[in-house]
Structure 1
């Protein structure tokens, strides 16, 4: 009986250590990146280390690429790269650590406001969004 209790205690301690190890590994999440749904004409990526948002225009189609970034506790933001084919916009952001981030990537035609001109059905319908943490 004592041996069973000792084994159970040891297993519980090991699972706690494994749980703590897993948690700290998840604190360093990978970058979250996603292409637009229109033949990958654009790419958006959020890099948690330093909170960088990368927006790439990969096609000379006359459209801009738009990143929609939703940050838990902060709201939803729209960032445009309207510089043309082959350009990359690197937006240095500042958010507190440990906030859930959801990223979508759209095609758009600037019409004077952050959301006006976004072609809402241009996102990747297979992946829809990418997620990570700040």
Structure 2
């Protein structure tokens, strides 16, 4: 029975020594491949961020996987709930004008692996994204995209 073919340009060694050395190489290569596979995984983990406005009339929830924003109106106070996303110097306002107990879902497409500001506040819609905002209700939290 031949365990391994010896290369002709190598010093002569026993078949057993050659086979052991070959098996050792295979084991090292396998271990390195397993280590690379586990440390370079691209599996995303869902993280949810939640913030409530200063007087609890609005809330904003951000789910990092899929970039989902939920803006909820929590109190019947004649004000709309607003979710705020700030990325760098850019601000985006998402109004929920449907009243107490409603939630607006927004499916965003944000840059990966970035810190963002998530905010919840209230306002009275005046036809523009920032018109009618009650700034004293603003509450924010740092969130991260994935």
TM-score (norm 2): 0.66
Q: Equivalent residue for 1:86? A: 101
Q: Does residue 1:119 correspond to 2:142, yes or no?
A: no
Query: Offset at 1:29?
Result: 5.9
Rounded to whole Å, the distance in 2 between the matches of 1:111 and 1:62 is 14
Once the two structures are superposed, residues 49-83 of structure 1 have per-residue CA deviations (whole angstroms, 9 ceiling, x without a partner) of: 111110000111110011110124x8210100000
Rounded to whole Å, the distance in 1 between the matches of 2:46 and 2:63 is 9
* Corresponding residue SS for 1:123: strand
Rounded to whole Å, the distance in 1 between the matches of 2:116 and 2:53 is 18
Which has the larger Rg?
2
Contact 1:51 1:93 in 2 (8 A): yes
Contact 1:31 1:132 in 2 (8 A): no
Tell which has more relative contact order, 1 or 2 (C-alpha 8 A, sep 6+): 1
How many pairs were matched up? Answer: 110
Please list, as runs of the form range in 1=range in 2, the aligned pairs for 1:89-100 lying within 5 A after superposition.
Answer: 89-100=104-115
Q: Does residue 1:36 correspond to 2:48, yes or no?
A: no
Once the two structures are superposed, residues 29-54 of structure 1 have per-residue CA deviations (whole angstroms, 9 ceiling, x without a partner) of: 6211100101x121101111111110
Q: Equivalent residue for 1:133? A: 145
Moved over 6 A (4+): none
Q: Give RMSD over aligned pairs.
A: 2.6
TM-score (norm 1): 0.71
Please list, as runs of the form range in 1=range in 2, the aligned pairs for 1:96-115 lying within 5 A after superposition.
Answer: 96-115=111-130
Q: Equivalent residue for 1:54? A: 70
Structure 1 gap segments, 5+ residues each: 1-16
